Every structure is written in C-alpha cells, then in structure tokens.
C-alpha cells in the first residue's frame, strides 16, 4: 500500500484549528498549571466544546463522525505546545472511551459515550498494577460473581484521568476465572466513580506530565452489576491488546508533536540568541542539531500516519504501530535533550517550554508499552521466536 502523506481539506482544516487553539489558548495558560501540578479544567472544557473528545466516534453516540487520523492530528498539534493536555485527550479517547465503543453493548454505549464524547465526563483504563507492568497477563486484581454482581478486589497504578472531578468511569481488568491449564481468564468491567469500596489515592508526584491527572486506585469488595462486564467474559486480555495497539499510534502522534515542538522552540531561540556577535543559528554545530531534529520529527510523522492509514483501511497494523511508537518516542527524548542543549542555561529553567518538554519526554519510552516491548513485538512480527 502506498502512503499519500497529504491531508484532505477537512483534515487540514482540523489540524489548523487545533494548532491555533494550542497556540492561543493552551500555551499562555499551561505553564502555571504545570508548576502547581493542577489539572487544567478550563482548557479541558474548551476542548470538549470543540468536540475533540468525540473526534473518532459516530455522531449517533455524540461524536464528531471523524476517524483515527483526526484524533492523532489533534494530539500532535496539542503536544507541540504541551504534553499534559495532549495525554489527557489521548487517554480519555483511546483508553477511556474507545474500549466502550469497540466492545460495549448498545446499552453501554448509549449510557456512557455521549458524555465521554463531549468531555463532560472522562473515562480511564485500569490495567497496570503495582507489581504488573509490561506483564499484563500477570494481573492480580480479581472479580468474582456473587448473584447479580461482580465483586472486585485489587489495586491499579499509574492510571491517567482517574481522579478528576469529572472522571465518571474506569474500565478495570480483573481475573474472573482460570483456564484448564491454570492460566488466568481476564475480563474488563466498568466501575463508576464513587462506587463504595473504590478508593482513589492522592495524585503522584511526577517528573513530567505535571498538569495531567494520575492516581493509584484500590478496590475493596467493590460491587457493580453483572451488566457492567465489557465485552465477553474472559476476553479482556485480547481486548486490551487491541486497545493498546491502537493507542500506540496515538502516543506516536503525541511524541511526534513533542519532537516537533522542541524543534519549533529551538529554531526561534537559535534565531534570537546571539553569541560572539551573531545568531547561534549561524553556527554549523547548531544547524546540524536542528537538521537532525527535523529529520526525526518528519520521519516519526510518516511512521504514525502510515500506521493510522493501515488501521483505518482495516489492514494489519500491529508492527507499524510498534515501529511508530518506538521511533517517535525515542525521537522525542533525543529532540528534547538537543533542544535543552541549544538553549543552554535557559533550557534548564522551567519558564522555557523546552524544559517542560524535556521532563515530559521520558515517559513516552515507558507508557503504553516500553521501548523494549515495542522491539519485542516487532521481532515477533518478523517471525522470530517468542
């Protein structure tokens, strides 16, 4: 399949609209939220009014009737300015709403999706546990049927959008039985916020993404109706693998935005900053850094768009998603480091966006599948032994 990187008129209009919003609304405000570790509710409300949370969902569920490319374009443009806001959108859509859309019953979709699509409510995805990261098959949280309810016990960690004032539901993965060989049967269950026994711990003190919402969650004899099962019982593992495959494309777009934002800031700084009587951008050492930063951002963009195109065409995309996530995240880390170096001492000051980008970049090599996991997935798809 050949890749045409040119955007349609509709996609280009969306990209420009979100870019202007990021520049004019997010950029002037987010620094204060970031330093105070505060969730930017007013920005999120405006994003909801713009329809960003409903971009890839059908209009019948309150969405905008767009596609996955539209979501990723928005993520890239927002991440050029700030990653906390970008990850709030990415997690709300890819992890909060998408499992409901992909696997929910018609009743579940109509109950939850309209509010999730407008940003009135945020959803979260409870997968990771304190002792279970990349080995998601080792899930220890349990859900046991008791009459017409599921009774859930366990702990989830590093869960984005799980403790805001507008968080409404968390999809929790839990062991609901055992296969004949003793392997766990994992299912996904919807747990509304405020359910008795469902406790949200205080927010983490994080290196980056300081204006996003991240908590540990605990479940102590939490009861939810049996009808809150999402998809088929025992199919939760396969479900979240599909969700993570898609989500890697979105994270790749976000990482590309950060990489591009580092270049944007560095180009402006290299033109304005003088040393020894001329702009530092006239120095070949700086020019080569900037050229390499452009190369990484450009290639990362092609990688995630290729993966998105395959997803939307119904073609296999797992390998391309892993490649895009791996390359773009490592490019973001490298571009953030180089941007900080170009800015010199100012790059170490939090008043400059590149300092925030530097702090935000590292998690991209960890979240939604570490770089090591991406290499493992690529190797397996090449036919190498598991």
Q: Which positions are annotated as active-site residues?
A: 368
CA distances from 188 to 97, 127, 166, 318 (A): 13, 9, 21, 22
Cβ 214 vs Cβ 160: under 8 Å: yes
**Cα angle, residue 53 at apex, residues 50 and 235 outer, rounded to 5°:** 165
Integer Cα distance of 189 and 244 in angstroms: 17
Cβ 89 vs Cβ 77: under 8 Å: no
28: Cβ contacts below 8 Å, ≥ 6 apart: none
Provide the 3-class DSSP secondary structure of residue 313.
Answer: coil
The residues facing 124 across adjacent strands are 170
Per-residue burial over 32-65, b if 16 or more Cβ lie within 10 Å, else e, is ebbeebebbeebbeebbebbbbbbbbeeebbbbe
């Amino acid at each position: 399949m050949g890749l045409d990187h040119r955007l349609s008129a509709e996609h280009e209009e969306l990209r420009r609209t979100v870019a202007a919003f990021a520049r004019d609304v997010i950029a002037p405000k987010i620094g204060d939220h970031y330093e105070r570790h505060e969730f930017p509710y007013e920005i999120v409300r405006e994003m909801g009014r713009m329809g960003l949370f409903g971009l890839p969902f059908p209009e019948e569920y309150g969405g905008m009737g767009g596609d996955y490319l539209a979501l990723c374009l928005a993520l890239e443009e927002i991440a050029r300015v700030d990653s906390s806001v970008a990850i709030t959108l990415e997690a709300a859509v890819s992890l909060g709403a998408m499992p409901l859309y992909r696997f929910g019953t018609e009743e579940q979709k109509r109950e939850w999706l309209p509010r999730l699509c407008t940003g009135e409510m945020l959803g979260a995805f409870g997968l990771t546990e304190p002792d279970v990261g990349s080995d998601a098959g080792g899930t220890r949280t349990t859900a046991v049927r008791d009459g017409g309810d599921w009774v859930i016990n366990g702990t989830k960690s590093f869960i984005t959008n799980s403790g805001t004032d507008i968080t409404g539901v968390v999809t929790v993965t839990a062991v609901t039985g055992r296969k004949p060989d003793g392997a766990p049967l994992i299912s996904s269950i919807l747990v509304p916020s405020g359910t008795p026994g469902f406790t949200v711990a205080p927010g983490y003190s994080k290196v980056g993404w300081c204006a996003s919402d991240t908590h540990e969650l605990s479940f102590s004899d939490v009861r939810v109706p049996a009808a809150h099962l999402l998809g088929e019982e025992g199919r939760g593992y396969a479900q979240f693998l599909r969700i993570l495959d898609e989500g890697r494309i979105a994270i790749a777009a976000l990482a590309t935005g950060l990489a591009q934002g580092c270049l944007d800031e560095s180009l402006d700084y290299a033109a304005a900053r003088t040393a020894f009587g001329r702009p530092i951008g006239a120095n070949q050492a700086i020019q080569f850094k900037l050229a390499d930063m452009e190369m990484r951002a450009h290639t990362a963009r092609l990688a995630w768009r290729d993966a998105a195109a395959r997803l939307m065409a119904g073609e296999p995309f797992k390998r391309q998603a892993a490649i895009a996530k791996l390359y773009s995240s490592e490019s973001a880390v490298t571009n953030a480091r180089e941007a900080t170096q170009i800015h010199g001492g100012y790059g170490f000051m939090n008043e400059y966006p590149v300092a925030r980008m530097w702090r935000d970049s590292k998690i991209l090599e960890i979240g939604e599948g570490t770089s090591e996991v991406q290499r493992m997935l690529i190797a397996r798809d090449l036919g190498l032994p598991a």
